[in-house]
């Protein structure tokens, strides 16, 4: 038996099993338009803001909130202006298992600051005041830590002016430290890095405080000179560290947020529309498979298997991104199916052309896949470029469509070229020397 062919087959089987495992452990959720969800009405605090800047502040708040909860364009969360007051936002969240986490992302301003610690900790503000004769020194301020699991706080005396702010951050990511604890790593801009290097060089061995939204996250000791990167500890879970990274990447909200109303909403498309959409999709898929089997016979069965594997890999990829399945996403998946079938048709017709020139079956098979591959890459790349522009300038539903289509194109190249070729190789290997390809009508 051909060992190379066996290795390729085992690779395909392993990838298919891994995709199936992902689907079992992280099944896709349905979006707001398919199964409903939660509707939140938020009020942006614009008190003290000039009338000329209110619209600007509200729009910036809407953009940041949308970025926080719809990072990849796959959660399909809608954030839009609401009402006639001009400072209210309507947030529609598809069914989620942890709504409190979403609320935390929405309501946290995400203002990160790094301060120099002057004194502390103290068990209460009164203890701190007594230490300084009842008044905190000029140029300093008293800040509490984030409450512990038992609700306890500690107070520290910090310098009033921060060393760096959230606006000085260039990027923020989640990582694990040497003790396998979740941390949030960050990178600073060039100007902030120079300031931070000077500060840490002059304060080695001293404490500093990392403050988020007026609460101290951690009070690390400066052990070495830090220039343009560092890490924030104190997160109890990986999810908490990820949420902090999302807040820092999206930027601080220009104003505070108040939750005005929360209510459950039904599917925006309605049960009848969803049912008819599923019927139409099933009918179309059956028609495509039947046509491929009738016209290309065994090669059509090959294409059907590749199409099924493509669908499995696409759904698994979406699950890895934590996607929510909505109608725009389904539209991207349906378009992917069409392009997958088109890819197989192109390959089959290329093989037919090579066979008509009198080439042997194995030679025609190799030449057909080789020549079709360049064309497939060209068509897929041009589509991906279009999707990039849709993702950059589109609304969240359009971003979801674009992302789904790109993922589908990537999986399609694997299934239509690699997996389909392996299936043909098995067909030839089973027939021996008198190998003959079944390409259906006129094949």
- Domains: count for the chain: 3
Q: Are residues 276 and 408 in the same domain?
A: yes
Q: Are residues 24 and 57 in the same domain?
A: no
- 344 located within any domain: yes
Q: What is the CATH number of the domain that holds 274?
A: 1.20.1640.10
Assigned token pair, 112: 């990160």
Q: What is the CATH number of the domain that holds 50?
A: 3.30.70.3400
pLDDT for position 443: 47
- 440 located within any domain: no
What letters, b where the CB count within 10 A reaches 16 and e where it falls short, cover 345-357?
Answer: bbbbebbbebbee
Strand 229-232 and strand 215-218: the pairing is unpaired
Q: Are residues 19 and 41 in the same domain?
A: no
Residues 401, 386: Cα–Cα separation, whole Å: 12
Q: Are residues 407 and 349 in the same domain?
A: yes
Residues 213, 62: Cα–Cα separation, whole Å: 19
- 128 located within any domain: yes
pLDDT for position 6: 86
Assigned token pair, 65: 């909130």
pLDDT for position 272: 66
Divide the 443 residues of the chain into consecutive groups of 10 and give the mean pLDDT of each group. Answer: 80 90 80 71 83 84 80 64 82 70 77 87 86 83 86 89 85 83 86 89 89 86 84 80 80 82 67 70 82 82 86 86 74 82 85 82 83 85 89 78 87 87 81 64 49
Q: Are residues 101 and 121 in the same domain?
A: no
pLDDT for position 158: 92
Range of the domain at 26: 3-31+270-434
> Of 155, 123, 127, which Cα lies nearest the Cα of 141?
155
Q: Are residues 47 and 23 in the same domain?
A: no
Q: Are residues 348 and 303 in the same domain?
A: yes
């Amino acid at each position: 038996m051909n060992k190379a062919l066996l290795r390729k087959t085992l690779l395909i089987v392993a990838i298919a099993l891994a995709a199936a495992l992902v689907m079992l452990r992280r099944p896709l959720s349905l979006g707001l338009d398919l199964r409903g969800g939660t509707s939140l009405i938020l009020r942006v605090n614009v008190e003290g803001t000039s009338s000329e800047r209110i619209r600007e502040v509200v729009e910036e708040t809407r953009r940041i909130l949308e970025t926080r909860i719809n990072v990849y364009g796959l959660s399909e969360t809608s954030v839009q202006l609401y009402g006639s007051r001009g400072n209210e936002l309507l947030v529609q969240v598809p069914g989620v298992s942890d709504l409190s986490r979403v609320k935390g992302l929405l309501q946290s301003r995400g203002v990160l600051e790094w301060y120099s610690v002057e004194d502390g900790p103290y068990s209460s503000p009164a203890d701190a005041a007594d230490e300084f004769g009842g008044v905190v020194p000029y140029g300093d301020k008293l800040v509490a830590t984030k409450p512990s699991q038992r609700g306890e706080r500690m107070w520290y005396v910090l310098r009033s002016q921060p060393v760096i702010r959230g606006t000085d951050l260039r990027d923020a990511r989640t990582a694990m430290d040497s003790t396998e604890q979740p941390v949030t790593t960050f990178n600073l801009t060039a100007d902030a890095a120079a300031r931070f290097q000077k500060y840490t060089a002059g304060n080695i061995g001293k404490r500093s405080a990392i403050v988020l939204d007026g609460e101290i996250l951690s009070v690390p000791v400066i052990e070495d000179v830090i220039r343009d990167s560092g890490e924030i500890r104190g997160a109890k879970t990986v999810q908490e560290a990820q949420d902090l990274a999302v807040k820092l990447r999206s930027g601080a909200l220009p104003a505070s947020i108040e939750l005005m109303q929360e209510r459950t909403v039904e599917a925006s498309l309605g049960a009848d529309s969803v049912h008819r959409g599923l019927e139409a999709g099933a009918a179309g898929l059956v028609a495509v498979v039947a046509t491929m089997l009738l016209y290309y016979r065994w090669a059509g069965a090959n294409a059907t298997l590749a199409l099924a594997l493509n669908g499995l890999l696409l759904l698994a990829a979406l699950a890895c991104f934590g996607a929510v399945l909505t109608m725009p996403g389904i539209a991207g998946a349906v378009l992917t199916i069409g392009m997958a079938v088109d890819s197989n048709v192109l390959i089959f017709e290329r093989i037919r052309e090579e066979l008509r020139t009198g080439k042997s079956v194995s030679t025609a098979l190799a030449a057909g896949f080789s020549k079709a591959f360049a064309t497939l890459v060209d068509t897929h790349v041009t589509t991906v470029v279009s999707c990039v522009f849709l993702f950059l300038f589109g609304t969240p539903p359009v971003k979801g469509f674009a992302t789904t289509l790109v993922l589908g194109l990537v999986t399609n190249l694997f299934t239509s070229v690699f997996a389909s070729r392996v299936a043909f190789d098995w067909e030839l290997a089973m027939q021996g020397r008198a190998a003959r390809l079944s390409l259906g009508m006129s094949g």
